[in-house]
Structure 1
């Protein structure tokens, strides 16, 4: 007796492409690059360099305010320290917290601005951070390290978007036009965020309360970066256009 013949699977089912897989780490490449550089520098500091080499890296890479008063002469690292300090961190908790916030606020901003503009934004807000820190502590001898100043700038940028994001392109990016400051300050949610952010920064900086982080918190640098991101975002945003479906609904 012959075996019963069942209908075969439709040919279309065999030729259908497999469903797309979501990436495990859905972060923009530029954000991954910044995280990678910070991680490499931290690992070098902790596990590769000896004590003398660590001190050399700290002196040449960290931002030390007193070096910019003219008392110690000229060296070429004066041009690079205001940027390289952001890739150095003082401990595991320091880098871990910063990288989490970088992923949270940097990813939608990078998707909005693009890699080049995001890199420039990171550099400028980091520079603004040390500028305010130097203005308040020009003779400070303690080295300043960490990406939190630039990340604070990303938080300021997020506030200018009203924390609106769009995932229609398959990746989260800040959406809509950059809001005028007057409108931002009328948003209850944004104002609450700004108030809490300021309170936490002042508490951790002035009171020295930061669990798991050694050393003083440079709250002045955070504020410098935040103000640069909040007020300077328009210089980096390439403009916003309403989606096609939104404009078609208006016609």
Structure 2
């Protein structure tokens, strides 16, 4: 029997680690608002992931040698404007909560980080000499989406979204082989690829005029889908499932 929550429970039960990530993103954006325009531009370029930073001219870019190592992480914390941040925050809330509840804080943060790094790496592979900066947590959030799919559809098959919100650890995790042959995941993945492909039609660059780095989206998503099983807190999930069965 699936446990049910009292009717007065909130619609969204957001784990503290997700709230903490959101708070950091908002604080960074607020801090940027307080900077003079030139200093803000320097800050963005110093924290952004710029593929050309790893070429001969890399040391001349804002951030210098240090940014070679920090920008693959810091680019996730900076967003173009409040609309960009709002959209990413909405997706983070949509896919981050169940993953965080299922994996725990440390695993969630590590998974988020690794997916973001995968997004940056995918962007680099496709644009090694590009001087255009990439910012935003889209790659990491796309990874959360990929990971969520591994237990989203089993949840829908055995309790629906309510179970996903109330007892995410009790949901069966799809094996990678099962996920890669599940029709629903394949269709979702195909739609994601098509939507991202549409962003580059007519632009001929990795990041179009709307600022969408599609490589980061697909790189993070693929990493999340393929590796989530390594981060999943399987022991906790089994314990909760056993408790429900008892």
User: TM-score by structure 1 length?
Assistant: 0.80
| Cα distance change, pair 177–26 in 1 and its aligned pair in 2 (3 A) | closer
CA distance in 2, matches of 1:148, 1:194: 16
Q: How many pairs does the alignment contain? A: 225
Q: Report if the CA contact (8 A) 1:162-1:184 is conserved.
A: no
Does residue 128 of the first structure (1) align with residue 118 of the second (2)?
yes
**Aligned CA-pair RMSD:** 2.6
Per-residue Cα deviation, 1:19-53 (whole angstroms, up to 9, x for no partner): 996458521111111111111111222x3111121
Per-residue Cα deviation, 1:178-202 (whole angstroms, up to 9, x for no partner): 3123322443332222222221111
Determine the structure 2 residue equivalent to 1:61.
47
- Divergent runs of 4+, >6 A: none
Shift of 1:94: 1.2
The one of 29, 32, 35 equivalent to 2:19 is 32
Q: Secondary structure at the match of 1:243?
A: helix
CA distance in 2, matches of 1:144, 1:237: 29
Shift of 1:160: 1.8
The one of 178, 190, 203 equivalent to 1:195 is 190
Per-residue Cα deviation, 1:218-243 (whole angstroms, up to 9, x for no partner): 10011110111111112211213162
CA distance in 1, matches of 2:72, 2:183: 35
CA distance in 1, matches of 2:53, 2:85: 25
Q: Report if the CA contact (8 A) 1:161-1:175 is conserved.
A: no
Shift of 1:214: 5.7
Determine the structure 1 residue equivalent to 2:171.
176
CA distance in 2, matches of 1:85, 1:20: 40
Which stretches in structure 2 are left out of the alignment for 5+ residues?
A: 1-5
Which has more radius of gyration?
1
